[in-house]
Amino acid sequence: MTVSILAPEIILSLAGIVVLLLSTISSKIKNLLFFISTTAAGAALYFLPFPTRTAGHLEISHTTKFFSILTIIALIITLLGSIEYTSKINSPPGEYIAILLWATVGILLFLKARDFILLFVALELFSICLYILVGYNTDSPLSIEGALKYFLMGAFASAFLSLGIAFIYGETSFTRFQQISHALARNGNMNAELIYIATVLILSVLFFKLAAAPFHSWSPDTYQGGVTPFIAFLSTAPKAAVLLVLIKFLPVILSLPNVTEYYRRIIELVAILSIVIGNVLAFQQLDIKRMLAYSGIAHVGYMLIPLVTLDLKSYAAPVAVYSLAYIIMNSAAFILVDYIFQNDNKPHLIEELAGIGYKYPLAAFSLTVLLISLTGLPPTLGFIGKYFVFLYALANGLLHLAIIGIVFSLVGAGYYLRVIYFLYMKQDDHQLSQKGNPFSLLVSSICALFVIVLGIYPSLVTDWIVMNIR
Amino acid sequence: MSVVGFSHYFFLGLILFSIGALGALTRRNGITIFLSIELMLNSVNLILVSYASTNGNLAGQILVFFMFAIAAAEAAVGLAFFIAIYKHRRTINIDRLTFLRW
């Protein structure tokens, strides 16, 4: 075990410190700061450790590597999309970038952690960074209010997580996943009720971080109020990371004898509730960020469908495909919302999109592609993600979940296509004419292109995913 | 009355946790809610330490130190939010933070 395993985390932490120090020198070097941080993100991508079979408190596998790549992609999209934003608000850009980099460090550690102490510390590292960044626009009461709600609920949830960890540690006297699952399988003189309570506590906190249905109430408020380009990060990277940890945590609790049916029912219930509540409530939203928040809840429901099988060998691959699609399309959609509206202190009403298709042709076209992909229509990556998930559900006898998923995808088409209708069908009747951040447009058009190319040639990535992700 | 042992500390921890959870759910003043959450975190520390002494290994005690640091970081961030919201709204009563509703 060498330092090179942690190379991406070290690079990003150091880049954060450098950016923070440089930003105190002059306030006119914003572009340099963004250049440094994007380069550091690229370097972190390059130095991702080669998958080995370390089974200590860190796991370095193809799966963690894939999800680390997704996290860093979300970071790069967010950084490029925030360049203009930081000059519009009253707070310095250096801190924004540094905290964003440190949040990424937390997520990367969280992905690798196979020990409850490291897991908890990494989770809090990124959560606290996320609280700060949601409320970074201190001029806007909406931003602070969203951040405060997220913070209070998040801190409440992490108290429950720590209680669950304490119970598991107390009953098994271990903190590493591997040792815990051995201890649970041996089933010595443990208090089994406490273990059940602990696993349910930990699962509900993970569902809370995913914004899955009974635990979703923070996400619409936080997304609507929060700093828009940063929501591109918040709505994607932590969710994918928590899904991976869920994938790695389920085998641990399934080492308990005779519990499969209970956990299957819990996950099934959460998945169905997320799909139904997310899609139904997204329908009546007037604010596009709030609508995307509810649609994000629904997407988490789709991503949980493969986990319902509890087939530990194969359920990760469809989740990975869907996460790839979700990260690219959702983060780019939020960046475009920021590009089109440009003013974060007002609500982002869907009606105000009227005529944007004629004013910003490229931005509107990219947004259209991304919304079609979020709906799950071919030929886009979103369709490939849903195809993998539903095919996997059918292959494992979850017909009812596949039907619920497909029916509510059709419901979802209603509210996504309504936005496209506003973009193109209404004539221009007002003005929103300042020039936006060219990098936002660049990065989101590239994402839209990606979504289409991978939608037409999915085997470019899905072959690798199906081979390597466990 | 027997010697104070593991179960006394454990149940004291659970009782404190429940008081904290009830406080966090029922109080309306933001800082009181935050105090209740801190109470929950610290009661978990008590449970961890009592487990560590019966299990006879130090992992629980190490986790307690990390939790101190995390609680302090959360306090710093949380109090900053309360100051910021007070500047805008002149209140930290969470029932009156209703800009984000549908």
Q: Do B100 and A173 touch (CB under 8 A)?
A: no
pLDDT value, residue A432? 56
Question: Is B64 an interface residue toward A (CB < 8 Å)?
Answer: no
Assess contact for A9 and A125: CB atoms under 8 A.
Answer: no
Alpha carbon A48 to chain centroid distance?
20
Question: Is A145 an interface residue toward B (CB < 8 Å)?
Answer: yes
Locate the domains of chain A by residue range. Answer: 3-468
Assess contact for A322 and A380: CB atoms under 8 A.
Answer: no
pLDDT at A72 over 70: yes
Question: Is A119 an interface residue toward B (CB < 8 Å)?
Answer: no
Kindly indicate the confidence band of residue A1, based on its pLDDT and cuts at 50, 70 and 90.
Answer: low
Mutate to test the interface with A, among B32, B47, B53, B70 (most CBs of A within 10 A): B70
pLDDT value, residue A425? 79
Least Cα distance to A405 among A278, A234, A252 occurs for A278
Domains in chain B, CATH or no CATH each: 6-96 (1.10.287.3510)
The string of DSSP letters for A246-279 reads HHHHHHHHTTSTT-HHHHHHHHHHHHHHHHHHHH
Give the chain B residue nearest A117 (alpha carbons): B63
* Range of lowest pLDDT (A53-62, A291-300, A309-318, B43-52): A53-62
Assess contact for A77 and A332: CB atoms under 8 A.
Answer: yes
Q: What integer is the mean pLDDT of A92-108?
A: 93
Question: Is B102 an interface residue toward A (CB < 8 Å)?
Answer: yes
pLDDT at A427 over 80: no
Least Cα distance to A60 among A13, A103, A100, A7 occurs for A7
Q: Per-residue pLDDT tens for B17-58? A: 999 999 999 999 999 999 999 999 999 999 999 999 998 889
pLDDT at A429 over 80: no
Q: Per-residue pLDDT tens for A218-263? A: 999 999 999 999 999 999 999 999 999 999 999 998 888 788 889 9
pLDDT value, residue A11? 96
Give the chain A residue nearest B76 (alpha carbons): A128
A58 φ, ψ to 5°?
Answer: -120, 140
pLDDT at A434 over 70: no
Assess contact for A438 and A32: CB atoms under 8 A.
Answer: no
Question: Is B46 an interface residue toward A (CB < 8 Å)?
Answer: no
Distance CA A137, CA A88 (A): 9
CA atoms within 13 A on the CB side of B1: 2
| Closest CB from A141, A149, A169 relative to B59 | A169
Q: Greatest CA separation found in chain B?
A: 57
The owner of tokens 């905290």 is A99
Question: Is A124 an interface residue toward B (CB < 8 Å)?
Answer: yes
CB < 8 Å to A147, chain B: 81
Q: Per-residue pLDDT tens for A178-208? A: 899 888 888 767 788 899 999 999 999 999 9
Q: Do B59 and A152 touch (CB under 8 A)?
A: no
ipTM for the whole complex = 0.95
Question: Is A144 an interface residue toward B (CB < 8 Å)?
Answer: yes
Average pLDDT, chain A: 90
Q: Per-residue pLDDT tens for A310-342? A: 888 889 999 999 999 999 999 999 999 999 888
For residue B14, with 0-12 CB atoms within 10 Å meaning exposed, 13-18 middle and 19 or more buried, which class applies? middle
C-alpha pair distances (Å), B24 with each of A42, A214, B19, B40, B80: 42, 18, 9, 9, 19
Q: Do A221 and B100 touch (CB under 8 A)?
A: yes
